[in-house]
Amino acid sequence: MINKVLIAEDHETTNLSVQRVLEEIGVEQPEYVYYCDDALAKISRAKQAGNPFDLLITDLYFEKDHNVQQLTEGTQLVEKARSVQPELKVLVFSAENRPAVIEQLYEKYEIDAFVRKARNDAKELRIAIDSMAKNQRYYPRHLRQFVENNSYEFNAFDIAILRLLADGIKQKDIPFYLRRDNIKPSGLSSVEKRLSFLKDELSCSSNEQLIAFCKDKGIL
């Protein structure tokens, strides 16, 4: 069962709603914080006190303010929290809708559920928590479509080139940076070939469009 829940969410209204939803499904006194650092502290203390949390519900992006924080993103919080308490269940609740980013949450950060802030998010929260109570991961069905026709898998070389381009490095200067970082291949021709291939694959007709595409998908 899921009884002890922590909410890490900087928006006051959203935080409130999540509390309400949890109360409605029988979670007594969900705890909540507005900063990642506070969340980590609470998780550590609960663990040490022998009364660890069952579930962490966290946002992805926390806005900076006058309170300087160690952890500034939900992903960092997830990593740290899991290093304290590996079996902690994690639900990410965010407006993020870029498939690549969400995919990474499941693969790299091994989250148990993702619910997008959207039309029926309260209902979906309940469903997701139900799944987790049965020790199942919750993978929103609307995502499956996205992932299946997820056109192309970018490799390290692709990403390196695209990053450099998006950072304003001229194509002809890219080999220099690739060699500096020991990325192979590094020849200008290889860069040209690869970019040409990527544009063809993703039906982009210019580098500009390619960068726009990657930004939209969250690849960059």
Partner DNA sequence: TACTGGTTTACGGCTTCCCGTAAAAAAGGC
Partner DNA sequence: GCCTTTTTTACGGGAAGCCGTAAACCAGTA
**184 part of the interface to DNA, by CB under 7 A:** yes
**170 part of the interface to a second copy, by CB under 8 A:** yes
**83 part of the interface to DNA, by CB under 7 A:** no
**97 part of the interface to DNA, by CB under 7 A:** no
Site string for DNA, 133-172 (x = CB under 7 A): -------------------------------------xxx
The first and second tokens of residue 68, run together, are 């300087």
**198 part of the interface to DNA, by CB under 7 A:** no
Nearer to DNA, 54 or 192 (CB): 192
**182 part of the interface to a second copy, by CB under 8 A:** no
Q: Provide, rounded to whole angstroms, the least separation between the CB of residue 120 and a second copy.
A: 6
Give the interface size with DNA as a residue count (CB under 7 A): 17
**202 part of the interface to DNA, by CB under 7 A:** no
**188 part of the interface to DNA, by CB under 7 A:** yes
Burial class, 87, CB count within 10 angstroms (exposed 0-12 / middle 13-18 / buried 19+)? exposed
Q: Provide, rounded to whole angstroms, the least separation between the CB of residue 136 and DNA.
A: 39
DSSP the chain: ----EEEE-S-HHHHHHHHHHHHHTT-SS-EEESSHHHHHHHHHHHHHTT---SEEEE-SB----SS--S--BHHHHHHHHHHH-TT-EEEEEE----HHHHHHHHHTS--SEEEESSTTHHHHHHHHHHHHHTT--B--HHHHHHHHT------HHHHHHHHHHHTT--GGGHHHHHHHTT-S---HHHHHHHHHHHHHHTT-SSHHHHHHHHHHHT--
Which of DNA, a second copy, none is residue 192 near (CB under 5 to 8 Å by kind)?
Answer: DNA
Binding window for DNA (CB under 7 A); candidates: 4-12, 32-40, 142-150, 187-195:
187-195
**218 part of the interface to DNA, by CB under 7 A:** no
Q: Provide, rounded to whole angstroms, the least separation between the CB of residue 175 and DNA.
A: 7
